[in-house]
Structure 1
Amino acid sequence: MIGLQMRPNNCAQPYTDAQKLLAMQWYYYSASCYDRMRQTGLQLPHPRTVEKWVAKYDVAPGFIELSFQDLEKDLKTLPPEAKLCNVKWDEMSCKEFEEYSSKHDLIVGFEDLGPLGITQNRANHVFVFTLNGIHTSYRWRQVVGFFFARHSVNRKNIVILLKMMLDKGEEIGLDIRMTVCDQGTRNIKCYNLLKVTAQKPSFEHNGEQIIFIHDCYHEVTNLVNALLKYGKIFMNGKVLYLSDMKATWDADQRGKLSNNLNHITEVHFYPNSFQKMNVERSRHLFGGKLAKAMIEAHEKGLVVSETLLESAECILVINRLTDAADSNKTRDINPLKSALPTENVESRAVVEDFLSWAPSLKVLGKNGCMKTLPCLMV
């Protein structure tokens, strides 16, 4: 960074590898922030220069062979546990836009599923595969494939691409144990093709059993969206009321509580379609701070509701469950967030208890009938 600032204007000397890497990293994190830093007077390479450095990698829609080659090279010197990983995939909408690629001599912006071919439909979704190390001592992540689709990739193509992904991982020596995705409609429809059921949440590929699970945080988001839509959720003999949560938040906004809920805003209760997908915002509504504020509101008589403590108890149960599911560390200050070995009795008890009452998660539909909610985990 110091070298870039001391570099004279119109210098003909090439940038060092370290300077190129720094510029590409910053530009990757935020192109707008990168432009803003240049406007404030920081000496940084022009964005077009950075784009040329990035463009030297010949990457097209489909599976990224360069990523597999780098992974194979790096994993040769690592122990077997470093090769333990899972396959994740996700999809998001993108702007429809076509442009001419001089590098590949074609117009890009159309539906392109890599090995499954290109169509003349304008793409408005991007579908991405990543590989993630699951051993606590070897945490790594690598994007290994991306595809452009019209609306979204259908279930048949998802399964075909997934099996190709598993084959490629096996070829370079990876030990893929599971797949992880959200509960999108197309993903759920993959169950039948892969013969996945609640009793047998796995499928066989090349003689190996691959566990099929969902991202627990997105399940919390689904639960929050159900609560916002129906107003209350029935769970394990208790009821969680949205009205109790709103009343406690209102009391905190008036300065009647200990001001513990600054992280919760009106958007949490009245999100638009895009904001409903925010995972962090969903965790705020099922956080321990809101539950403690509800208990305080009851003790001070600030919220008059016979169900306030019951709703707070429901939030604490879900909060403990998300902590237990967030076991991405071997050791943590919160014992529930530690990994789930045999000796972690508390975390295991929380998960096993949830599995016993998960089918009781229901909402009251508009027609007066009880509707079963999807389980938080398969």
Structure 2
Amino acid sequence: MFLKVRKNKFFPEVRKFASNLHFISPRAYGFIRNNFKTSLPHVRTLARWYQHINGEPGFSSESLQALKHLAKSKSPQRWICGLSFDEMALRRAIEWNGENYLGFVNFGQQLESDNLPIAKEALVFMLTCLNGSWKLPVGYFLVDRTTSEQKTSLVKTCIDLVSDCGVEVVSVTFDGRAANFAMAKLLGCKLDGDLNPVFEHKLKKIVIFPDPSQCLN
């Protein structure tokens, strides 16, 4: 059976299966991993697989390395940042670069499918320093559409990666898309009735800030 670990490393087939499943449904991934113990890698392992260099889709290893250097320059204090994300429209097109076809959905671990959709948006994650004067894009994903569950998983992964670099995320900002508000509820926020714009992740409280200018559209 291919769901085996070899010298603490996962076979390529397992990497593809795990990455694809986690992107399509983090909840289903968690269910399968919990019921089959350690047959699938931990989500922190997936987070490392999401990292890429040279401008490829995923969380940027170069940006994360830059954050580590910034964190060292601030020590023993910490940089405090707000995380924002947004979808940017793309012209839908397929191009050949001499090795691969580009333009399909890509979240850092290329999905394999004969019916892979063409990406129509780039989902971009940006850090804005609140006790300094810098901004840093930390990753992007080529998407056709993203569900609230997928966004919840990506936001948590981004916060974990940034925190591992020694930088603290205290807020998350997004526009008025319905999937974003559904994501906020999945994170544990309440946006109607008794308002609670705060969620807890790894014992740290983080505030959400829906962008008013976008919510009015």
TM-score w.r.t. the length of structure 1 is 0.40
The percent identity for this pair of structures is 24
- Residues 57 and 108, structure 2, Cα contact 8 Å, conserved in 1: yes
The residue type paired with residue 105 of structure 2 is: E
In structure 2, what is the Cα distance between the partners aligned to 1:66 and 1:147? 16
**2:30 is matched with which residue?**
none
Q: Give the equivalent residue in structure 1 for 2:199.
A: 203
Map 1:108-123; keep pairs closer than 5 Å: 108-115=102-109, 117=111, 120-123=116-119
SS in 1 for 2:87: strand
Structure 2 gap segments, 5+ residues each: 1-52
Instruction: Decide whether the 8 Å contact of 1:87 with 1:132 is kept in 2.
Output: yes
The alpha-carbon distance between structure 1 residues 173 and 113, as it changes in their structure 2 partners (threshold 3 A), is same
2:99 maps to 1:96: no
**Partner SS state of residue 155, structure 2:** helix
Residues 208, 116 of structure 1: alpha-carbon distance in 2 compared, 3 angstrom cutoff: farther
Correspondence list, 1:42-57, <5 A:
none
- Give the deviation of 1:154 after TM superposition: 1.3
Q: How much has 1:115 moved relative to structure 2?
A: 4.6
Asked if the contact 2:81/2:171 (under 8 Å) is kept, the reply is yes
Does the 8 Å CA contact 2:83/2:171 hold for their aligned counterparts? yes
SS state at 2:157 partner: helix
Aligned-partner residue type, residue 128 of structure 2: N
**Contact 2:170–2:207 (8 Å) recurs in 1:** yes
Counterpart residue number, 1:70: 66
Q: Given residue 108 of structure 1, which amino acid in structure 2 is its aligned partner?
A: L
Deviation per residue, 1:178-229 (Å, 9 max, x gap): 100111121011133112103221111111111111123334xx1xx5xxxx
Q: Are 1:143 and 2:130 counterparts?
A: no
Instruction: Select 2:55's aligned residue among 56, 59, 76.
Output: 59
Q: How far 1:59 sits from its partner (Å)?
A: 1.8
Q: Tell me the number of residue pairs that the alignment of Structure 1 and Structure 2 aligns.
A: 160
CA positional deviation for 1:116: 7.9
Structure 1 residue 75: deviation in Å?
2.6
CA contact (8 A) 1:180 1:212 kept: yes
Q: Which has the higher helix share?
A: 1
Contact 2:67 2:162 in 1 (8 A): no
Unaligned regions of 5+ residues in structure 1, if any? 1-56, 226-378
Tell me how far apart the structure 2 counterparts of residues 187 and 118 of structure 1 sit (CA, whole Å): 27
Give the number of the structure whose alpha-carbon radius of gyration is greater: 1
Q: 1:58 to 1:133 in 2, by over 3 A?
A: same
Query: Which aligned segments of 4 or more residues in structure 1 are displaced greater than 6 angstroms?
Result: none
**Contact 1:110-1:118 at 8 Å conserved across structures:** no
Residues 1:215 and 2:208 are matched in the alignment: no
- Describe the shift of the 1:123–1:210 C-alpha distance in structure 2 as closer, same or farther (beyond 3 A): same
Assess if the C-alpha contact under 8 Å between 2:78 and 2:166 holds in 1: no
For 2:136 and 2:75, how far apart are their aligned partners in 1?
18
Distance 1:209 1:118 in 2: 37
Q: 2:182 aligns with which of 179, 189, 202?
A: 189
RCO comparison, higher one (Cα < 8 Å, 6+): 2
Match in the other structure for 1:173: 166
CA contact 2:188–2:200 (8 Å) conserved in 1 = no
TM-score (norm: length of structure 2): 0.68
Alpha carbon RMSD of aligned pairs, Å?
1.9
Q: Distance in 2 between matches of 1:58 and 1:202?
A: 35
